[in-house]
Amino acid sequence: MSIKEDIPAIFLDKISPKGLDAIQKCKDFVNDYCLPADELYFKQMSDDPATRWKSTPEITEKLKVKARELGLWNMFLSNHYPEGPGFTNLEYGLMAQYLGRSFVAPEATNTNAPDTGNMELFAKFGTEYQKKKWLHPLLNGEIRSAFLMTEKGTSSSNALNISVSAKLNSKGNYVLNGVKWFASGAGDPRCAVWLVMCKTSDKSGKEAYKNHTVLVLDAKKALSSGKARLIRPLTVFGYDDAPHGHCEVMFDDYEVPTEDTPNAILASEGRGFELIQSRLGPGRIHHCMRLIGAGEFALLRANQRANHRIIFGKPMNQRESFINAFAQNKIDIQSCRLLVLNAAHKIDISNAKVAQQDIAMAKIETPRTILKILDWAIQVFGAEGVSQDVELARMYAHARTLRIADGPDEAHLNQLGRYHAKKYQEADQFFENYKNFPKL
Amino acid sequence: MSIKEDIPAIFLDKISPKGLDAIQKCKDFVNDYCLPADELYFKQMSDDPATRWKSTPEITEKLKVKARELGLWNMFLSNHYPEGPGFTNLEYGLMAQYLGRSFVAPEATNTNAPDTGNMELFAKFGTEYQKKKWLHPLLNGEIRSAFLMTEKGTSSSNALNISVSAKLNSKGNYVLNGVKWFASGAGDPRCAVWLVMCKTSDKSGKEAYKNHTVLVLDAKKALSSGKARLIRPLTVFGYDDAPHGHCEVMFDDYEVPTEDTPNAILASEGRGFELIQSRLGPGRIHHCMRLIGAGEFALLRANQRANHRIIFGKPMNQRESFINAFAQNKIDIQSCRLLVLNAAHKIDISNAKVAQQDIAMAKIETPRTILKILDWAIQVFGAEGVSQDVELARMYAHARTLRIADGPDEAHLNQLGRYHAKKYQEADQFFENYKNFPKL
Amino acid sequence: MSIKEDIPAIFLDKISPKGLDAIQKCKDFVNDYCLPADELYFKQMSDDPATRWKSTPEITEKLKVKARELGLWNMFLSNHYPEGPGFTNLEYGLMAQYLGRSFVAPEATNTNAPDTGNMELFAKFGTEYQKKKWLHPLLNGEIRSAFLMTEKGTSSSNALNISVSAKLNSKGNYVLNGVKWFASGAGDPRCAVWLVMCKTSDKSGKEAYKNHTVLVLDAKKALSSGKARLIRPLTVFGYDDAPHGHCEVMFDDYEVPTEDTPNAILASEGRGFELIQSRLGPGRIHHCMRLIGAGEFALLRANQRANHRIIFGKPMNQRESFINAFAQNKIDIQSCRLLVLNAAHKIDISNAKVAQQDIAMAKIETPRTILKILDWAIQVFGAEGVSQDVELARMYAHARTLRIADGPDEAHLNQLGRYHAKKYQEADQFFENYKNFPKL
Amino acid sequence: MSIKEDIPAIFLDKISPKGLDAIQKCKDFVNDYCLPADELYFKQMSDDPATRWKSTPEITEKLKVKARELGLWNMFLSNHYPEGPGFTNLEYGLMAQYLGRSFVAPEATNTNAPDTGNMELFAKFGTEYQKKKWLHPLLNGEIRSAFLMTEKGTSSSNALNISVSAKLNSKGNYVLNGVKWFASGAGDPRCAVWLVMCKTSDKSGKEAYKNHTVLVLDAKKALSSGKARLIRPLTVFGYDDAPHGHCEVMFDDYEVPTEDTPNAILASEGRGFELIQSRLGPGRIHHCMRLIGAGEFALLRANQRANHRIIFGKPMNQRESFINAFAQNKIDIQSCRLLVLNAAHKIDISNAKVAQQDIAMAKIETPRTILKILDWAIQVFGAEGVSQDVELARMYAHARTLRIADGPDEAHLNQLGRYHAKKYQEADQFFENYKNFPKL
């Protein structure tokens, strides 16, 4: 089947020949290499807590070599960035809907969160030193990174609540105190750099938006100091997602080494809030597109099962309730796809700020929809659906976090509603206009 | 507010300057003329059953003059038709989302069902005689028409069930027997022509698809014969939609006059099934786009009410439950808009047959979504919402029929599901592919 | 089928033999007399606006005679009232689930709103004079009544918003000014008495709850004065519900006649708020039980249609999507039935105030659920479902008002949530308790 | 708070004083002992795969001692069984709604699945030998048991699909072949007996219902033979639920030891289907009641979080969207509670067969509802909600299996729909009755 059938009509003339070629290659790479490799990946993971976090499955590195050969590398870096391969957000979005089918595909193509958002930040705000030291190895897939934002017990979607403190000591070095958690990727033995959202001042009122700063820490040094510690991995449902991991990280008077101090701030002090905002737009779209891939994959799996499941004498794939649910799921995925790609295109022709409401719509609608579909596919499978024998429960657990990460549904919904409600204040005037009905 | 804000990013570069100009004019015409005229329209309608069906509100004709002046006339006839004003389905779709806000706007611009579908049929399949006699007056808004399809007690969405018979008598004229109902528009005193889906033969098996023929009847002659009768208007919820009406029509040995016989068949005998199919594609899209207009109008109304409704001391428009529901409604409308316009564009670049699945998706999703929104807006209003003082209950009743007309949701869902399920038979092969995982 | 099958197990031992007998008679009366009479009722109604509001179908009076013969009269007056026939709310609830199937049954058994609530008020708070003058004819079904509460443009569920004023003039008579609407039953030519919620003072703070008073007006005198006028009937989704009607009523310096003044106040001045509260509890339960009857009736209708509707070669009643939806509807009705009857029983063993949260749950859940079922049944019927040929659209329109009347869903939901949230403030203490875990 | 507030009004007079006392004790035991012990339980579990399945947390045994002291032991065995403590299903149901709040409470009171169902089977169908050997130690909580039913790749809810074979060899011993999976509890080191659903003959037609037999195997002997093997634990959303476990078990020519043969059949050969049916009724109710406990617990947790979560300056517990969702959840739990307890009572006054449709309703509605509530509570918590720091994700994973176990929702829904649709065939006759409308 041509990939053109996977692309809604309205986008067809917006894809460059180069983009189309890469999308096709991406689909083939995922189907032929990544999906079959997923099983191997989990086999190569140790179950033993003693070794589970100390190495990574070797299949990943092999896939990375293959992906680079195919030119499927860093596609997320849209053509706004000179460091990237020159695709639009729309084109990458269409690739991501294949990447999302497979567990290993994002890392295999160096397009996995949170590295993507971190690379964007370094590319946009990094000094030459920071680029050389962190961005280039990240772009090459040699190291990995984490973004330490969320804190326990607060609504971290409101960055003003962030409390991990970084104070300058007499040596002019920042000293960090406090606890972060759900630092995704911090468990990986290759994780070399942490971006840490810290509170560096304590102003109030409107100035409060300048209280936070993103610090760039050498993760290995921090851990070897003993004053920054990976306390434990958090689980998502029952998954620890090793070796990537979602870690709780404690800073206990951790002092940034003097030699690192000159390069320890991203952008400048007090711009944490701004960096956070800038980081989120395209990232949300990436998550959504991968989810759409997960949804399509779930439909494939469900269909495979329905082909063989006989229910009271009739194959499931001929039962009306299956067929109708299947159709509804196709509609729902298509709706999300259009929302997401429309937002991606809007970023391409303007920027993430202009596209904010479109991004919010996609961000709210997609995870919820895909969860519904994954849940349905689990039910199609029966007991097998919740087990490790199919990908669905794992995909579900991951998708569930995306109703929370980067702002919970409710926060986006409320923001969106207030935005539109403001515009609709004009409703009064609109209906007032009736009275001016001209004589005809 | 510029109309560009009403157009999703992805469509912006697909609208011609002429189209953009017409869309803007259409929005202004609806807001400034049609919406204020709606109230007048209902005042000009008689409540007395004796006169209610005998005349039509004069405001309509005045609006028609204005619309023609503005070039807002027959926009539904896409640039596939030489008789039309030369807009794409996409462009018309964007106009229709304003037309759908107002009760009178579609007729005022000669874009109201069922005339639109009937005009398309005449334009595509009519003889020169039929075009002169029926199409041209229809295009000029001088007469109106009805399509007599549905029959009581059968699933008329399956045309094979149609049973009103037309048999040739010894004079070579068709004689009709049976009862049609829900013949929308047949109540209008200006209704001059009926297209009647009849059973003209009784073959079985695959040939059954050739049993039906569309006859073209002069409505005035038929009624004056006494052998074709408007039995009664059906109501939709409690609305009779006079003078348009949804009529039950009985044929009791009605013989087509000899002088009309040569022009009484559309296309040729046995092609009824094909004509029906051809008629439905764009028509469904038109309905959906108007519904989106209805949905946006409901949001405006809801906001107007919320601006002034104080609930336990706090204006409704500042209450979280209102704001969040409002936002969700915006997302849902936007999803439908993208589905509908994507389908419209696919018709533009190919044809309705190729776009069939996209049309089905829009047709399933849109009425249901808009009903949800109208219902919410009714609830925002309280008792007023169900009354004649706002448009919402009437809009709801109309929208409710669109989950049934042109095929009920379930029929489309089932067809869509079987289409995709067929493609997904390949799921087995897809997962089989895992075994061929090449060594890396 | 024995009526015992219609009664959930848990209630079986709570029905007296007398109650059981009456429930059986009620079922038979509805099925054998009322349902067949519904069609006749609508035939006996005039369509002509000139006469439509001037008489009532004679079949109703005939049914009333029959109902009294059977002892099916005023069953709503629970055994708390000496005037009633001595059933519990639970027993009446079980009768109401049959009454709700038919349009005429409630009036035929003198259990129709708003007369029921008005009779309860007179029985509880009326003077001897008021009982003789109004309650006894009402109990005998000789006259009818209306409750004038709702006002346009305000959230009337908050009685503090009521603004129609009644001020004492120099003669010591109340003079009324303002407009009420949705005064259900006021259109009936037999309507003889209005209970009018008026604002009689203008205190603030906590005293505001004593600003309102229920006045008892002689409707005929009021109308003949010319200073109280029925302005127009409101429609509910196109239905005017003549001759009952939902009327807009204007008071323009209407002075209560001197001879009526001594008996023009129900209870005493300033107790309007209290009377309103007292009126609503059982009334809400009655509405809900009738709705459950409507829901079961819709299932019967849907099944009848599905028995005969052939969809692509297979009867609808054998299609999985019909069967599964049917089952879900049975579950949903049963849930509501249990909620409603549990609340009715709680009123029986305590009172409406104690049962407030249980009543709220039933009131929120039942209309919504029954609307869903009616909507499904409409869809099962197709076009016929929205027409006057089946009862479903009319039932839907009525049920829709019950998400608004007696307080909209949202008001009840919010009240219920705050009630429980208050109790759950103890959650903190609950989890605090963990720390006291005793050594085992 | 008195437990009477937790009991719907309608059940109050059906609880014996002894029952009421036990319910109160049960609530206190869960709140004061079990809930605080849950945390300890997980701490006492080893994470090391080498030891994880070899021991059980000692806290469980301590709790069991306490529970027996309190008389909270085997309460599930309704007063139909002489071996039980003499509570009704209704009374146990009310206890189970507390037990379901805690992870350890069911085992602590010896009321955990699958032991409960297995004990019922032994009590009802066991020989004296089987009772002495297996039932009594189970009743004493000395050993544990598993039921091996489900098989991979088939719809095991239709027992006819079960394929693990047991054939008599020349020695007159059964020889088993095939694979079972999701054998819950088989991982526990204390698991001593397996009940295995086997295919013992290969008849067709109606006789096919006699092809299956439940064999009683000594688990320790089977495992030590090497011919029956625990292949691996299955996971449920990442949880392995060690040491209980959901195991895949392979039989590879496993021969029942000659000395065990005389007691290896439960009831008699060919009655497997009947035993399965008998096992499920009350068990489904137990699951549902515990789920209701889980739902109430989730509301407590959500409230605790909302008390302290500040969202843009306002505590979550004062935000309208939280309050309204909370209220809706209370309604939904109450609906399920009434469905479940009504079914339990129906079993008490008749039997599980008579109550089949009521049980089905509860079984369909409850897991789905509780999942919705757990999901909402997770969202209230944000990231913490999916982690090991609160119970919600674990509870969700467990509840999710209950839409599959003991028959998936769809199977019950379909059965229920066909049952009612059959009754409603009478719809035709019902409406036919209209024609007999007697003259009044």
Q: Which residues of C touch A324 (CB under 8 A)?
A: 321
Weakest-pLDDT range from A117-121, B158-162, C202-206, D161-165? B158-162
Chain D residue at shortest CA distance from B318: D320
pLDDT at C275: 93
pLDDT at D83 over 60: yes
Condensed to tens digits (0 to 9), the pLDDT of residues A157-193 reads: 788 889 999 999 999 999 999 999 999 999 999 999 9
Count CB pairs under 8 A between chains B and D. 8
Condensed to tens digits (0 to 9), the pLDDT of residues C322-373 reads: 999 999 999 999 999 999 999 999 999 999 999 999 999 999 999 999 999 9
Interface of D with B (CB under 8 A): 319-321, 324
Q: What is the CATH class of C7-126?
A: mainly alpha
pLDDT at A328 over 90: yes
D3: pLDDT confidence band, cut at 50, 70 and 90? confident
State whether B335 and A330 contact (CB < 8 Å).
no
pLDDT at A277: 85
pLDDT at B379: 97
State whether A430 and B323 contact (CB < 8 Å).
no
Residue segments in chain B with a per-residue pLDDT below the cut of 70: 1, 439
DSSP state of B239: B
Other CB atoms closer than 10 Å to residue B85's CB: what's the count?
18
pLDDT at A424: 78
pLDDT at B423: 80
D1: pLDDT confidence band, cut at 50, 70 and 90? low
pLDDT at B432: 85
State whether C408 and B378 contact (CB < 8 Å).
no
Mutant choice from A319, A321, A322 vs C, greatest count of C C-beta within 10 A: A321
Residue closest to A67 by CA, chosen among A123, A11, A106, A112: A106
State whether A404 and D382 contact (CB < 8 Å).
yes
Q: Which residues of B touch D324 (CB under 8 A)?
A: 321
Mutant choice from A312, A317, A319, A320 vs C, greatest count of C C-beta within 10 A: A320
What would be the CATH architecture of the domain defined by B274-426?
Up-down Bundle (1.20)
Mutant choice from A98, A412, A437 vs B, greatest count of B C-beta within 10 A: A437
How many residues can be counted in chain B? 440
D167: pLDDT confidence band, cut at 50, 70 and 90? very high
State whether A420 and B338 contact (CB < 8 Å).
no
pLDDT at C89 over 70: yes
What would be the CATH architecture of the domain defined by A274-424?
Up-down Bundle (1.20)
Cα–Cα distance for residue pair B286/A337, rounded to 1 Å = 23
Q: Are A281 and A76 in contact (CB under 8 A)?
A: no
The pair of three-digit structure tokens given for residue D264, joined into one six-digit string: 């290896």
Cα–Cα distance for residue pair C345/C365, rounded to 1 Å = 18
Q: Which stretches within A206-249 are classed as H helix?
A: 219-225
pLDDT at A300 over 70: yes
**CB within 8 A of A253, min separation 6: which ones?**
A175, A176, A177, A227
DSSP string, C240-292: --TTT-EEEEEEEEEEPPTTTGGG-BSSSTT-HHHHHHHHHHHHHHHHHHHHH
Condensed to tens digits (0 to 9), the pLDDT of residues C273-318 reads: 999 988 777 888 999 999 999 999 999 999 999 998 888 788 899 9
pLDDT at A323 over 80: yes
pLDDT at C312: 79
pLDDT at A281 over 80: no
Q: Which residues of A touch B335 (CB under 8 A)?
A: 335-336, 338-339, 365
Q: Would you kindly state where each structural domain of chain D is located, as residue ranges? A: 12-126, 144-266, 274-426
Q: Average pLDDT in the A388-399 region?
A: 97
Other CB atoms closer than 10 Å to residue C35's CB: what's the count?
24
Average pLDDT, rounded, for chain A:
94
pTM score, whole prediction: 0.97
Mutant choice from C69, C305, C323 vs D, greatest count of D C-beta within 10 A: C323
pLDDT at C397: 98
Fold of A9-126: Butyryl-Coa Dehydrogenase, subunit A; domain 1 (1.10.540)
* Amino acid, res. A137: P
C243: pLDDT confidence band, cut at 50, 70 and 90? very high
State whether D10 and C10 contact (CB < 8 Å).
yes
Residue closest to B291 by CA, chosen among B109, B99, B112, B76: B99
Cα–Cα distance for residue pair D135/D123, rounded to 1 Å = 7
DSSP string, D340-352: HHHHHHHHHHS-T
C20: pLDDT confidence band, cut at 50, 70 and 90? very high
* Amino acid, res. D378: I
pLDDT at B313: 82
Name the residue among B152, B382, B410 with its Cβ closest to that of C408: B382
The pair of three-digit structure tokens given for residue A409, joined into one six-digit string: 């549904």
Q: Which residues of D touch C433 (CB under 8 A)?
A: 31-32, 35-36
pLDDT at A215: 98
Name the residue among C324, C426, C437 with its Cβ closest to that of D36: C437
Alpha carbon separation from D22 to D26, D35, D73, D92, D284 (Å, rounded): 6, 18, 10, 9, 22
Cα–Cα distance for residue pair B298/B333, rounded to 1 Å = 11
DSSP string, D329-388: HHHHHHHHHHHHHHHHHHHHHS-TTTTHHHHHHHHHHHHHHHHHHHHHHHHHHTHHHHST
Q: Are D108 and D64 in contact (CB under 8 A)?
A: yes
Cα–Cα distance for residue pair C132/C135, rounded to 1 Å = 6
pLDDT at D312: 79
Condensed to tens digits (0 to 9), the pLDDT of residues D280-339 reads: 778 889 999 999 999 999 999 999 999 988 887 888 999 999 999 999 999 999 999 999
Q: What is the CATH class of A144-266?
A: mainly beta
Q: Are C392 and C373 in contact (CB under 8 A)?
A: no
For tokens 């066991």, the residue is D126
The pair of three-digit structure tokens given for residue A257, joined into one six-digit string: 């080494």
pLDDT at A312: 79
State whether A238 and D393 contact (CB < 8 Å).
yes
pLDDT at D79: 83
Q: Which residues of A touch D384 (CB under 8 A)?
A: 152-153
Name the residue among D246, D321, D384 with its Cβ closest to that of A152: D384
**C236 to chain B nearest CA, in Å?**
5
Q: Are B237 and B400 in contact (CB under 8 A)?
A: yes
Average pLDDT, rounded, for chain D:
94
Phi, psi of D341 (to 5 degrees): -70, -35
Pick the CATH number of D12-126 from 1.10.540.10, 3.40.640.10, 2.40.50.140, 3.40.50.410: 1.10.540.10
Q: Average pLDDT in the D246-263 region?
A: 97
Interface of B with D (CB under 8 A): 319-321, 324
Instruction: Return the exposure string of C353-381: e unless at least 16 CB atoms fall within 10 Å of the residue's CB, then b.
Output: eebbbbbbbbbbbbbbbbbebbbbbbbbb
pLDDT at A1 over 60: no
Cα–Cα distance for residue pair C77/C86, rounded to 1 Å = 7
**C155 to chain A nearest CA, in Å?**
19
pLDDT at C176: 98
From the number of C-beta atoms within 10 Å of its C-beta (0-12, 13-18, 19+), residue B60 rates as middle
Cα–Cα distance for residue pair C79/C349, rounded to 1 Å = 11
Fold of B8-126: Butyryl-Coa Dehydrogenase, subunit A; domain 1 (1.10.540)
Residue closest to A29 by CA, chosen among A78, A63, A74: A63
Phi, psi of A290 (to 5 degrees): -65, -35
Chain D residue at shortest CA distance from C36: D434
DSSP state of C7: S
Chain A residue at shortest CA distance from D322: A410
Count CB pairs under 8 A between chains A and C. 8
Q: Which residues of C touch D358 (CB under 8 A)?
A: 9
pLDDT at A422: 81
Cα–Cα distance for residue pair C415/B172, rounded to 1 Å = 74
Average pLDDT, rounded, for chain C:
94
C122: pLDDT confidence band, cut at 50, 70 and 90? very high
Count CB pairs under 8 A between chains B and C. 136
**CB within 8 A of C160, min separation 6: which ones?**
C208, C209, C211, C212, C273
